[in-house]
Amino acid sequence: MNVNGMDFAVSTKQIDYNAQVAILGAGPVGLTIANYLSKQGISVVVVEKLDSLIDYPRAIGIDDEALRTIQSLGLIDKVLPHTTPNHAMRFLTPKGHCFADIQPMTREFGWSRRNAFIQPQVDKVLLENLQQYDTATVLFSRDLTKFSQDANGVTLNIETADKKSEVVHAQYLVACDGGNSIVRRTLNIGFDGKTAPNQWIVIDIENDPLATPHIYLCCDPVRPYVSAALPHGIRRFEFMVMPGETQEELSKPENINRLLSKVLPNTEKIEVIRQRVYTHNARIADKFRVNRILLAGDAAHIMPVWQGQGYNSGMRDAFNLAWKLALVVQGKSGAALLDSYQVERKDHAKAMIDLSVMAGHVLAPPKVWQGFVRDSIAYALNYIKPIKQYLLEMRFKPMPQYKDGALVTDGHKHSPVGKMFIQPQVKLESGETALLDDVIDNDFAIIAWGVDPKWGMNDATMAKWKSLGVKFIQVLPAVQIDNPQRKKLDGVITIGDSGVDIRSWFGKTSQSIVILRPDRFVAALAIPQTLNSVSNDLFAKLYS
């Protein structure tokens, strides 16, 4: 078998596990994709080399987009108790002056924009939820030894802890096997970028000895550090590792206490949960897809932690890829749809890498003089209201906007096509309120302001939409929902705009109908008279 120029002799005499999608890696990205596909009725096998989920220090920041992804899995109520919403990020000078206070309070997508969390606890929720699906299998303690792909699927040769050989076969493989991905390396996919020259040590402490809220990044020129309040009374400290220091030396109790004495009045009775030294990398794969194999999460891109976007970028990959894989596996779209995954995700992942690198340079400038310049400029800018507001609202964060891919652009410079749609609270016909995504579920949605969202479509277009899975939604001002004379529309969900969020959104466009993809991104805009033609243009982009 030849895979991307490399030959693999893979036995297919015996298939121990047969699924529609195989996922390598039981991290958050792999588990999220597995949950989404399982919810759509797709059979999955997750292969993980470790004996259990990772429990050492990992991500501590989850954003509103990632929470929206978790909401799509039906797990938001189980995850929110492990978060601290509205978690501010504050950059401090060596003297403790706050020169950048990032605390966005808006909820465009239904959830707090910045949240602290403890990743292993959320990973556990994702893993346990897979137990409800008969079509989902999770295999721990399995090493990937060989793999191949052909026109019919992907074959994985794996080995158990007791050296027993097993074979997994699937239509597609999603490699979520980390920054050192064996799949990416075997396929000779480039992983360009840089590795930071300095390392950092993470120390997680139980029974938080400071108990102050939020996260603080202290730009100390001698040894920069981070102090972060986490849920469940846990405090995380991160310190830059100096030249010549090793993980073995730093992990000794006396050296841990020496580091902590920099930030605590005393180190008595400190309950260290775990510590770990890590390196900051900023790298991105040349390509995210090779035929039936796709890369996601750290296997596709890896970035410094300073904006908490490594985890969240991986979750964006998961949501973008999962709904497309589901359509392809179900035969509703052609395999070419999967090419849009890289088209849409790669540029934004690179933008988040650049932002994270920049934030790292603010915390620990490469040169000492740059720190003095930073402090002087930051002090002055903090008193300029527009710039202060820019930082507070986190407007510097590049939001995903897809210019090409599974969407129909309208050519307008400030078009919302390719952007994530808002998620306000809406009023239901029952009189209850709900978040918009809970009305849509994991379907496409055609949302019209004030009119019948089906008007203007011929029978063939209607049949096509129904085959893809769609919710037709009419939006009215909330006060009109209870009108007994209101005309009821067959096959249409009518919701009330409880505030002015949806009306304001439509007021910024010249269109009255929005087509949403399952990942809540705007796929196209139309008016009733153009909806039929726009729908067919979108079908072509979906290869359906």
pLDDT in tens, the chain (544 residues): 333 433 344 444 589 999 999 999 999 999 999 999 999 999 999 999 999 998 876 889 999 999 999 999 999 999 999 999 999 888 887 777 787 787 877 899 999 999 999 999 999 999 999 999 999 999 999 999 999 999 999 999 999 999 999 999 999 999 999 999 999 999 999 999 887 667 889 999 999 999 999 999 888 878 889 999 999 999 999 998 888 888 888 889 999 999 999 999 999 889 999 888 888 788 999 999 999 999 999 999 998 766 557 899 999 999 999 999 999 999 999 999 999 999 999 988 888 777 766 665 555 555 554 555 545 555 555 555 555 454 444 454 556 789 999 999 987 878 999 999 999 999 999 999 999 999 999 999 999 999 999 998 999 999 999 999 999 999 999 999 999 889 899 999 999 999 899 999 999 999 999 999 999 999 999 999 999 999 999 999 999 8
Q: How many CB atoms lie within 10 A of CB 232?
A: 12
Domain count, the chain: 2
**Residue where a domain stops, chosen among 360, 375, 391:** 360
Does a structural domain hold residue 503? yes
- Which tokens hold the place of 506? 């439509």
- Which tokens hold the place of 528? 């009733």
Question: What are the start-end ranges of the H helices in 364-500?
Answer: 368-381, 385-392, 436-440, 459-468
Q: Can you tell me the distance from the alpha carbon of 352 to that of 303, in angstroms, rounded to the nearest whole number?
A: 8
Does a structural domain hold residue 408? no
Query: Are 467 and 459 spatial neighbours (Cβ–Cβ below 8 Å)?
Result: no
Q: Can you tell me the distance from the alpha carbon of 124 to that of 435, in angstroms, rounded to the nearest whole number?
A: 25
Which residues does 162 contact at the CB level (< 8 Å), separation at least 6? Answer: none
Q: What pLDDT, on a 0 to 100 scale, did the predictor assign at position 351?
A: 82
Q: What pLDDT, on a 0 to 100 scale, did the predictor assign at position 367?
A: 53
The verdict on 346 and 474 lying in the same domain is no
The residue behind tokens 């979520």 is 176
**Phi, psi of 326, rounded to the nearest 5 degrees:** -60, -45
The verdict on 147 and 21 lying in the same domain is yes
The verdict on 309 and 431 lying in the same domain is no
- Which tokens hold the place of 466? 């129904």
Q: What pLDDT, on a 0 to 100 scale, did the predictor assign at position 103?
A: 80
User: What secondary structure letter does DSSP report for 280?
Assistant: E
The verdict on 464 and 356 lying in the same domain is no
The verdict on 16 and 156 lying in the same domain is yes
The verdict on 534 and 430 lying in the same domain is yes
The verdict on 290 and 430 lying in the same domain is no
Q: Can you tell me the distance from the alpha carbon of 12 to that of 200, in angstroms, rounded to the nearest whole number?
A: 45
* CATH number, residue 472: 3.40.30.10
**Residue where a domain stops, chosen among 307, 330, 360:** 360
Q: What are the C-alpha distances in Å from 489 to residues 324, 385, 434, 472, 475?
A: 30, 49, 20, 10, 12
- What does pTM read for this prediction? 0.91
Does a structural domain hold residue 398? no
Does a structural domain hold residue 367? no
- Domain interval for residue 62: 2-79+118-191+285-360
Q: How many CB atoms lie within 10 A of CB 157?
A: 19
Q: What are the C-alpha distances in Å from 142 to residues 3, 9, 34, 46, 83?
A: 22, 19, 17, 10, 31
Does a structural domain hold residue 447? yes
Does a structural domain hold residue 366? no
Q: What pLDDT, on a 0 to 100 scale, did the predictor assign at position 282?
A: 87
Does a structural domain hold residue 319? yes
The verdict on 510 and 430 lying in the same domain is yes
Q: What pLDDT, on a 0 to 100 scale, did the predictor assign at position 96?
A: 79
Strand order in the sheet with 522-526: 433-435, 425-427, 493-497, 470-477, 444-449, 513-516, 522-526
The verdict on 318 and 171 lying in the same domain is yes
Q: What pLDDT, on a 0 to 100 scale, did the predictor assign at position 257?
A: 93
The verdict on 56 and 173 lying in the same domain is yes
The verdict on 173 and 69 lying in the same domain is yes
Q: What pLDDT, on a 0 to 100 scale, did the predictor assign at position 279?
A: 82
**Residue where a domain stops, chosen among 323, 340, 360:** 360
Does a structural domain hold residue 94? no
Q: What pLDDT, on a 0 to 100 scale, did the predictor assign at position 365?
A: 56
